[in-house]
Structures are given as structure tokens and as C-alpha cells.
Structure 1
Amino acid sequence: MEPTVSGSDERTVRELIRFYLLDHRTPVGRAIDIALLGLNLLFVGVFVVETYPVSARVRSALWQLEVGIAGVFAVEYLFRLYGARDRLAEFSNGYTMVDLLSILPTLSIVLLPTSVGIVNVGFLRAIRIVRVLRFYRFTADAEFFFGTVSDNTLRAMKLFLTILVLLVVSAGLFYSVESGANPGIETFGDAFYYTVVTLSTVGFGDIVPATAAGRWVTVAAILAAVILIPRQASKILREWTSKEKVNVTCPDCGLAYHDPDASHCKACGHVIYQEADSRE
């Protein structure tokens, strides 16, 4: 039920902000979710398009769009901190830190244009690609603006998201350190192609890192793929293999999920007398 701001159920502005930023059921909460999801996609899309040859007019329009979206994200970031019950915990939250990191490059160029002259502005703005990590916030639970999904579907979504995020972030960082130094990397598409070929272990060899930073990005991407993807996939496999199990916990050793016809715990041998239909 949507909160009200009247009578004994009166809520402070801070509570309302916290409610709507977490809510998936009310029209306002759903609208916020959909808007943030769309802006996330658009923010990442602007970065990708900017890596391709475009006219000065289009590039100027993309920059204005980037600044506008970054401003919206900055307001959202401040609202999350303001509405949080524990602001320190919210500030140190991984999702919140990603939010801040993704908008800092754009805001620093707008607010402190002279201070960014000593750094590589292209690399600084490429950090915006980490915004794709923000999509993990939408999979924090099984409830979405379009309804509730099963645990297995949620795990599959997280696996797909892990692969997508790994490819996009790796490609974005590789592009930022290799463009200009590597003749094979002219656009984000080139970097994405290299990342897919490398992480899939195909390794055509038509594009290779030309800088030390590019090699380190490649090493980090490979290690992340080796660690993260099997971890997510194992959760799905474990769920599939336990579908035929019955959720009964052994009172002696605490082992849960036993075979449908089990009468004894397979770990300790304790009698559990799990019921089974003899007709099966």
C-alpha cells in the first residue's frame, strides 16, 4: 500500500524518500525503477556512441545528455544518503560507491574543469562504464517492477548480468587504455570484440594489447571471469540438481534436502523417516 502523509500514519520526508527508492509495488515506486533503469542504459549508451566517429553537433548533444543524466544520478545519490537509516552504511555500500564513481568524472569536468587538465580526460570519462554494475541493484531481491520471479530465474538473471557486466566493463577499460596507442582499437566495438574473443579463450590473435595497462586489464578480466562466472553457474546447477530433493532437516547433523524415499540421513545415518509414496 502506498504510504500517506496524514493522521497518525504521517511519515517524514526522509522516510518517504527511502520508501520510494526501495519500493517496487506502488505506481511511483515502479516509475522510479523504470526511469532509473532507462537512464542507466542511456548513460552507458552515450559512452559507447562517443567512441565512434560522429559530427561535432552530435558530440555536443551527447555531452549535454551525459551531463543531464549525471545530474539526475547525483540527485538520486544524495536522496539515498539522506533517506538511509544508517548513512555511513549506505555510503560504504558497494552499489552506492559505484553510483558515485560513475558520475564523478562527468561532474568533475563540469564543476572543476581546470583540475582535470593534469589527467587523461578520456580515461577519466571511461570510468563511467562502471555504471553497468549498478544493474546489480535491480537484482538485489526477487521482486521487480513487473512482478516477482522465482529464485532460479533470479539466479539465471544474475549469471547473465555477470557475463554482460564483465564483458562491458572489461571492454570499456580496455578501450580507454588502448585507443590511440593500438591501431586495432578504434571504437568500443573493437574492444568488445577483443574482450569476447579473449574471455571465450578463442584467441584469434588479430588484436593484442599494445600497452602495459591493456595487458593488466586483460589479466584482470580473465581472473574475474574464472572466479565469478563458475560461482554464479554453480548456484544454478545446485538448484537444478536439488529439485527432486525434499526439504527435510536431519535432527542429528542438520543436513537438509534428502532423497524423496530416504528413511535415514545419508550423512550420519540418523533415522529421519521421510515419507514416500510407494506408488512412485
Structure 2
Amino acid sequence: MTAASTGGDRSARDVVRFYLLDHRTPLGKVIDVGLLALNLVFVGVFVAETYALSPATDALLWELEVAIALVFLVEYVLRLYGARSRVAEFFNGYTMVDLLAILPTLAVLVLPLSAVGVNIGFLRVIRVVRVLRFYRFTRDAEFFFGTVTDNTLRAVKLLLTVLVIFFVSAGLFYSAENAANPGVNTFGDAFYYTVVTLSTVGFGDILPVTTAGRWVTVATILAGIIVIPWQASKIVKEWGHKGKVNVTCPECGLAYHDADASHCKACGHVIYQELDSRE
């Protein structure tokens, strides 16, 4: 169904909600691709700002960050406007991440701080959640290029989870160590440390020297050994059900049985599953 299919029955809120969720119409695909591209640039700006650049480049990156933040602010407002329940949308995890992602930039615009001020204190910590916006693009199996299988979607989420843990941990570690640790001068240094730490290689060329840095390292390791296996188990579980047929037992309600099953393996009830004699 398209936005035009219901004619005048759709209100402006319905149209806004439709196109922010749509993956099939040309306009819906353009919005999806545009937001994804802007998110990549937004994350790239955060990384670039941790390097020593010329004043002209710093100013250009700041202007780009502000412009993209304003676009995301418009998107945030439109999502609240078009939502069926604005309270539920406000407390939605994706929506809260959207707001947190742009708060540091908006704070610099509103508060009497210079653009450099966004690099200090809690503002630096908040900025790393920008990468969490990518989870919004994996909320269902439909993408702007088509629909993927559930197993593919789980694999995408697993890969994204690994990258998010690396990126967020590196951002937090950089924020905690940059001022005190001579080995952490850029985001790349912090990312290198995070990858080496989570892979248990532990070269020892970079070590946390602050209390905050040590706690970030502990949290990173815990996240790595808990979240990643949890996501991976979903893929393994799906592979384990491969070849099973979605037939529900009318007696006990157990779903998914072996292809040649005639009785429910839980209660023994006859499920009369049909089989092709040619197989």
C-alpha cells in the first residue's frame, strides 16, 4: 500500500509516519538512503575531529556537523509528530538514541560554549552514541534494496553489534584517556586498543592510565563476552531449525517439527503433516 492509495483519507501525520517507515516507494527509499548516508557522514565527522587538522578544516567539519544535526532534529520532530502515540515514540529506544546523538551539537549552539567545548566532559561521551543510530535501519527485514531473510538480518545485527561495541568503547576510551595518556592521541589509537583488547591479543603498547579508562575497558570486555555470543546464538538457533516445517501441534501448541514428523515430539499427538512422496 502506498501513501496515495488511500486518497484523502490520510492525514498529514499519516503521510509523515508512512514515509518515515516506508522502504518500497521511491520517496521512502530516498529518505532511507539519505538518512543512512548522513549518519555515516555524522559518524565520520566525529572520528575526524579527534585528529589534528587545520583551523579551516575544523571549521568546515563543525559546519557540516551542525547542518546534519539540524536535519536529524527535523527528522526527530517529524517522528514525534507522525507517531500514533507520541509518548510511546518519545520513550522508544531508537528515538531516544536519535535525540542523544544530536544533543551535544545542539548544546554547543544553544549554550555559551565554543565549538571546541563539544570535545570536553560528558559531551564527548554522549557523542559516541551516534553510531547506535544504525540500529534503526535493522529494526525489520525490509531495506531500501528489498527484503532479507531473518537469518541474514540476524547476521547483519551481529556484525553491527560488533562494530558498535568497538566504536562506542573506542570513543569512551578516547574521552577518558586522551588528556592523560600519551599513547592515545586520536580515535584511531583508541580503536586499535579496543580491537586488541577484545581479541585478547594484548600487545601492551597502550594501557589505560585513568580510572575511567580502566572501567571502560572492563565494560568493553563484559559487553564483548555477553552481547556478541547472545547475538550469535540467535543465528545458530536459526540454523538448527533449518529444514523444519512450521506446523503447530493442535494439542500442545509446539511449532516447527521435522519434515518427516507424523506425531508431535512433545506430546505425541498426531499432527498429520503432509509429505511429498517424491522426496
> 1:18 Cα shift?
1.1
Q: Structure 1 pair 117/64, CA: closer, same or farther in 2 (3 Å)?
A: closer
Match of 1:101 in 2: 100
Percent identity over paired residues: 72
Q: Structure 1 pair 178/221, CA: closer, same or farther in 2 (3 Å)?
A: same
The unaligned stretches of length 5 or more in structure 2 are none
- C-alpha contact (below 8 Å) 1:143/1:149 kept by paired residues: yes
The unaligned stretches of length 5 or more in structure 1 are none
TM-score between the two structures when normalised by the length of structure 1: 0.92
Amino acid corresponding to residue 274 of structure 1 in structure 2: Q
- C-alpha contact (below 8 Å) 2:104/2:118 kept by paired residues: no
| 1:224 counterpart = 2:242 | no
Match of 2:54 in 1: 55
> 1:21 Cα shift?
0.8
* Structure 2: distance between partners of 1:144 and 1:87: 25
Match of 1:136 in 2: 135
* Structure 2: distance between partners of 1:143 and 1:185: 40
* Structure 2: distance between partners of 1:213 and 1:59: 28
Match of 2:203 in 1: 204
- C-alpha contact (below 8 Å) 2:62/2:115 kept by paired residues: no
1:132-211 aligned at under 5 Å gives the runs 132-211=131-210
Amino acid corresponding to residue 49 of structure 2 in structure 1: E
Q: Secondary structure of the equivalent of 2:3? A: coil
- C-alpha contact (below 8 Å) 1:175/1:191 kept by paired residues: yes
> 1:278 Cα shift?
6.5
Q: Structure 1 pair 181/143, CA: closer, same or farther in 2 (3 Å)?
A: same
Q: Deviations over 1:241-262 (max 9, x none)?
A: 1112222222333222222222
Runs of 4+ in 1 over 6 A off after TM superposition: 115-120
> 1:230 Cα shift?
1.2
Match of 2:80 in 1: 81
* Structure 1: distance between partners of 2:44 and 2:231: 26
* Structure 2: distance between partners of 1:115 and 1:46: 17
Match of 1:24 in 2: 23
> 1:75 Cα shift?
1.0
Match of 1:239 in 2: 238
- Report the number of matched residues: 279
* Structure 2: distance between partners of 1:23 and 1:195: 36
Amino acid corresponding to residue 3 of structure 1 in structure 2: A
